[in-house]
Structure 1
């Protein structure tokens, strides 16, 4: 499928987030409506019905205070008995006003009842309380005749009945408001729980969708890339998913195809190199041997018959042919490292170094050199190649010595999963700025007439060490002499 027909990951992500926002907004809106209903129910109970009930009780108490005050004044004619009456009158007015203000907005019919109670209270005072008070004050003594008591009781009972009816209605309203408040609170609780569950489900769904459209394709792409990077360049990378993932997979597959072409080209190049090596080892060396042999024959046969310059020319020809042979042999050895592989076996480096020292016995004896070696470990590799590394490093130490007899010291220590070897000498040393140059093929720091060699030895050492999974470098932390260090992997199935 063409990647251009697929949605990009950004669009998929935006769609997922949009759905999440819409659902959450709807859920939050529902919770907001429920919370508003909860607020209204709480306001009705606590700010309207509840205060109205309290004011109705205050009104009833104020009326009782007035009735008691009038009765006491009528029986004793003492003015202080009118204090409860006056206080009750003021309390009645405040209670009526507050009760009406609290209930008028939600129950206008109850506000009318409050007005009715107010009219009945005024009627009771006009028909009984004010008459009794006026009569006692006029007589200046208690009233012996209580003829108006029945009439006053009838009026007062009417007021009390109306107040009682108002209290019962307010009690019912309070119970209904409390029940409504509890119901709305339960609704809010259920909505909050549902919102939490919904959010969990949405997040899980979005995570599953993202895993399916993003993580899973990327994981599959990574697995195929690892398969290709492990050497299976024939495996075509095929991936599905959003547009970016498919495009990335196509780019990786295009890179795989280019690598495959490069590998094929490298194989052809290696084949040509092998052919060159064959020609160099046979067709080139045969003429060189003839040149060197005939030059030596000329030198022996016509020795003394040629002048000094002629003999010098013959020596130059012989020396050039021999050096060319050495150079070709070194090039062949360098090209074969890592290309003509053999099975890695356990190599006892003690034996390897002993063979190297035996091959340099003449040089060691002639120079009076001292070579100190420790007990070396056993590693896995090719013995001939590892012997070449020690041979090059020890040979260079013997070659580039100072005025006194050379002293070479080999050391080894284990650092984690690697052996670290050190070859140190007290020779002429190498400047730190040449620490990398010396490992480049044909890079020489001295003229061939001063120190013979082809300039391939250290490059060969690096190639061999890297082929065995290690590294080699020049340790520049010493003032005198030269110190080379290299590492080799520890072989777990061998003993030190």
Structure 2
């Protein structure tokens, strides 16, 4: 189906890509700025800790080495003892070490600090060449040499002070740079946090505006259609996919509405025909009742006169005459039985009797009492389980048990009938069963046997009107249950029927 979607409407994917790009740009900018600030802080820290700080320390070590040299030379000149030259020699070694470290740390020729270091070394070289080297060469030490040494070493000291002052200035600049870098990093962290919040807010705004809000709107419209007004049109908004989904839902709603309208019309038609069928069934039942009732009296007269003819003229007529009278009497009796069964069938549900709690044991006893002659004649043995208390009409439920047990006695095989009546709780119903060892019923007749006037055997083989099982089904259904042939039984026959289990506290349940 082609969906209608306005031109220029963005899809969810495009909105997601846009949101992702904007968020990525903001986050990327924040990361770059933060990284630059962090690199600047690291460089400033490295400059302070790895360059300017060690340079100051080495300049101090150089100054100490120079002072040790001056002290050793002064002592040697004044005392003339060689051991006083040890501080001088140690100072020379310390000087070389300090100068090497300063060179490594960047005080190379051509740089400001390198030039200052060169001035210190040049002043020290002049001092040693003028004062120390002549003495070490064997010239006699005099007080004039001591006096000449002082201004020369003051030049060395001045050059050292200049070097140290410049290095202190460099360290102060490094400290200031480190402090500034730290401030910049703190500001950048705040900016990064703000940018991240802005990115999240932007993404949330776009999601809410372009996705969540249209989804809620569509869900609300669908909910209204599902629960209240199926005639309400579903309209989508937002991204392309949401509009397409709304179009699909609207198409589905239209089809459902058409189906519902069709079903409503069909239900109206069914309701009309159901009422007509109920009226027709009622008329048929009324006709059957009236016809059966009105046939009773003339049929009773026919049967009575036929029996009188049989009693008075039996043996006085020829054999064929006696046979004809016998046929008439037998037909009248069968007609009376059929009319009585029709009356019983038509009365079920027409005039509901009192529904009371009944002992199934008593119902079975009454049914067996009505069948006493047939049971005695057939030699049937009847067993029963523990039967419950049920609610219903006594005469009708007795008729059900009487029909089922009577059929078990009637449709027997060569062996005497063995009949078992049992009941068990099945959910909210009592499931009764009547099982026998008779001739059985084929599965293909499982439904046909419950149709009125349907017989599987001729009247000559087994007497009856063909109404018993149909009457039993009508009675059971009238009590809210169902009846069926258990087709899983292969030997004999088992009929089952259900009755609602009475849950009232006053129930005297006959089965635990």
Gap change, CA 1:210 and 1:312, over 3 Å in 2: farther
Match of residue 94 from structure 1: 101
After superposition, the C-alpha distances for 1:99-144 in whole angstroms (9 at most, x for unaligned) are 469xxxxxxxx99322332332332233324544423421378775
- The SS at the match of 1:139 is coil
Gap change, CA 1:294 and 1:218, over 3 Å in 2: farther
Q: Shift of the alpha carbon at 1:151?
A: 2.6
1:441–1:459 CA contact under 8 A, matched in 2: no
Return 5+ residue gaps in structure 2 as ranges.
77-81, 237-245, 311-318, 376-380
Match of residue 189 from structure 2: 188
Match of residue 236 from structure 1: 231
Match of residue 165 from structure 2: 164
Match of residue 436 from structure 2: 427
Match of residue 112 from structure 2: 113
Gap change, CA 1:227 and 1:41, over 3 Å in 2: same
Q: Shift of the alpha carbon at 1:389?
A: 7.8
Distance 1:23 1:188 in 2: 19
Match of residue 38 from structure 1: 37
Distance 1:488 1:348 in 2: 13
Output the TM-score relative to the length of structure 1.
0.67
After superposition, the C-alpha distances for 1:376-425 in whole angstroms (9 at most, x for unaligned) are 377xxxx56x9978964774356336745534233448xxxx53423244
1:113–1:166 CA contact under 8 A, matched in 2: no
Q: Shift of the alpha carbon at 1:267?
A: 1.9
Among 400, 417, 420, the alignment partner of 2:408 is 400
Match of residue 260 from structure 2: 256
Distance 1:45 1:316 in 2: 128
Q: Shift of the alpha carbon at 1:150?
A: 1.8
Structure whose alpha-carbon radius of gyration is higher: 2
Distance 2:455 2:98 in 1: 121
Match of residue 266 from structure 1: 270
1:58–1:95 CA contact under 8 A, matched in 2: no
Residue 409 of structure 1 pairs with residue 422 of structure 2: yes
RMSD: 5.7
- The SS at the match of 1:236 is coil
Return 5+ residue gaps in structure 1 as ranges.
102-109, 229-234
Distance 2:160 2:372 in 1: 136
Distance 1:221 1:274 in 2: 40
After superposition, the C-alpha distances for 1:20-54 in whole angstroms (9 at most, x for unaligned) are 42343233223312321232223222333432222
- The SS at the match of 2:111 is helix
- The SS at the match of 2:133 is helix
- How do residues 211-222 of structure 1 correspond to structure 2 at under 5 angstroms? 212-215=213-216, 217-218=218-219, 220-222=221-223
Gap change, CA 1:175 and 1:447, over 3 Å in 2: farther
- How do residues 82-481 of structure 1 correspond to structure 2 at under 5 angstroms? 82-99=89-106, 112-129=111-128, 131-139=130-138, 144=143, 145-146=145-146, 147-189=148-190, 191-192=192-193, 195-196=196-197, 199=200, 202-203=203-204, 206=207, 210=211, 212-215=213-216, 217-218=218-219, 220-222=221-223, 224-226=225-227, 236=231, 238-241=233-236, 242-278=246-282, 280-281=284-285, 300=306, 348-350=356-358, 358=366, 361-363=369-371, 366-367=374-375, 369=382, 376=389, 383=392, 392=400, 395-396=403-404, 399-400=407-408, 403-404=416-417, 406-412=419-425, 419-428=428-437, 438=446, 447-448=456-457, 453=466
Output the TM-score relative to the length of structure 2.
0.65
Gap change, CA 1:224 and 1:79, over 3 Å in 2: same
Match of residue 242 from structure 2: none
Distance 2:11 2:329 in 1: 83
After superposition, the C-alpha distances for 1:437-468 in whole angstroms (9 at most, x for unaligned) are 95788599993558875665787689668x78
Distance 2:202 2:474 in 1: 64
